Chains A and B, each alone.
Chain A
Amino acid sequence: MSYKAKFRVWRGEGGEGKLEDFTVEVNEGEVVLDIIHRLQATQAPDLAVRWNCKAGKCGSCSMEINGRPKLGCMTRMSTFTEDETITVTPMRTFPVIKDLVTDVSFNYQKAREIPSFTPPSDVKPGEYRMQQIDVERSQEFRKCIECFMCNNVCHVIRDHEENKPGFAGPRFLMRIAELDMHPYDVADRKDSAQEEHGLGYCNITKCCTEVCPEHIKITDNALIPMKERVVDRKYDPLVWLGNKIFKRSSSKS
């Protein structure tokens, strides 16, 4: 059942580093994160990796496995052949702190730039009434575990540091869509989505959707509809007003 696998793991800190080779035991049912932990326990006690839940729920263990962004805790060893060399590297879009751990503060910065949920001032806690069907769209986006792999993979910033200031990345463009589709949100988010958060940079390549471990249809369900709303709004502000009023009244009925 158990075998020895060949691993190449990126090791380094402070901007320098290299791939290091390891041979390490693998047992039935294990995932890549288990192997990284085994390396820590047996060969490299100071090997840095983030993780928490080990069940795909917290989004801490994002890494690139054979060049593809993945959650280490949800990548089973059985998806590789026994003689394959498995290369594990940190997410490329964010600066490396050490080994597999990157500085993801970009994402927290962006989160803070998106105006928060803005309910009407006259609804009190406990008075909210929403139909399941009206919350489902935003609920899909709220499944996000903030693994930041979509932001990591998006070509707008992957190798373009210069675009970072003006682009929130798919994660936070989706957050705008989530709030815009929230039945009780009254903020106008269209202009800022386009002008401040860089929705226009997105050319719907869907790479973000492909890597999302929560299988959220980021492009189809959040980004494209948001783009359509921006366009509608550009031609006819009444459309937006109408949408909001309609949404509010339908949710009350």
Chain B
Amino acid sequence: MLLSFSEKQIGALLPAFLHIDKQLNISAMGPGILRHLPHVRIGMPCAEAFNIVNYDTAQFLQEGVNVQPVSLIARDIDVHLSGAAIFHEAGCLLAVRFAITEEMFADSSMDLSDFGHADPVILSTMLIVLQRAMLEESQANAIELAHARQRSTDLLERTSRVAGYMAHDFNNLLSVIRLNTDRLSRQFGKDEKIGKLVEIIQEMAARGSEITQSLMTLSLQRTDMRQPLSVDQVIHDNMGILDSVVGPNISLKLTLNANDRKCVVSYSDFLNALINLLINAREAMPMGGQIALSSSVGVGLIKGDGDTDADMAQSDSYIAIQIADTGVGMSDALLSRAFEPQFSSKPNGTGLGLASVRNFAVETGGDVWLESAEGKGTTAYLHLPILKTVAPLVAVSSAVAHAGASDALGKKRILLVEDEPYALEALVEMLEAEGYAVTPCASGEEALIALGQDAYDVLLTDVVMPGQNGTEVARDACIAQPSIKVILMSGYVPDSAALQPGWLFLHKPMESAKLLQLISA
């Protein structure tokens, strides 16, 4: 089949084509050649305008047959053409195209019209340029998204901080209301009408307190408090939950011998630690087995690694909780990594369970570790300091500290620090009515002076105060008077890093009864 096309049609397909006649002169050319090589004219010998790469131009054109690949270079302009030479009886059609690179896109005088419609090189080069442009924009997208996320995190943080401050201030107000209604009740509670009014106010204050609790939960503030808790009691009270954690295939055997000794812990943190240890034991026994949960009182070093840390050397009495399973056990390699935050030996494990148990144990002044024999099972040891024996971190001898704290009449001495005057007044009155000798201070600085002048059994201090804050006062008090009992009161639960083991914490607004219980505990 012979197809014949006009010059114009060939020019549309191959804008840079050339036709060379038998005399080796240019007899036709495409519009691209006209535009970009204006010195090339019809009738001109091809060899005058072009060199054929690797060949003698005249010889190539004379001797060629059929179809051959060809590359041309224009003689006096830096233009390359490549394609095929098609030989026929009337001469040779140079079906060539301009060679173009991506870089030439930007500064070449050529444009799409100089290339054939179906030119794949042009299409793919354009594609590359477009994709590069999209990639650049996508990088900008990614940065914008990251900024947007940062902004919303910042906003959330700011909002939650403000919510936290508001809840804290509101708690302080509720605290004053609470303490003063207790006062009213003590003094005039016998009058039925007043008693009723006091009840109403107290109930409203309690509701207000629930609102602040929710606000604090929302603002990601911790709302639980550290308090002396009987380990055995907590385990006993939660048997239902603990049983369901281990599941039906595993029997949970309890041996509670801590004799109701207490540790200062947050209820929920302690329970979570137990649950995490039980989950760990359960996971080691996919086919079922037995877990023995026991508690006892231990004496000696609290730490598992025998680290004779000076801090802990005095904590000679602790509650030892053991959770022993009859599971697969752990290799030394697993054991050494079990408490790493992101570590999990299970494919779907989050790896957070044991790490949080360790945080809890360390914050409480205790320790946790595992011992295991492959094929026999693993035992988790959780040691927590017993309330009475928790000693302050650094014992500095002080004349005052040795002098004995109780006053001449044998009353317990309380150093009370509270910057809110109405709360201070109400607390002083209440504590004195209960028979304590109270030294009131309106600031941390006043308290430090008082600590230098007298010995105290108890430091009862607000946490958030201008100047010296409550945890700083408590730290100094423990140094000056190592046997002092520290009770912190706040709407906030302070950062646990700022707390020392054994310090008690009371959430505001507090009930007088709860406070008195802590003081006398």
To the question of whether A and B form a pair in one complex, the answer is no
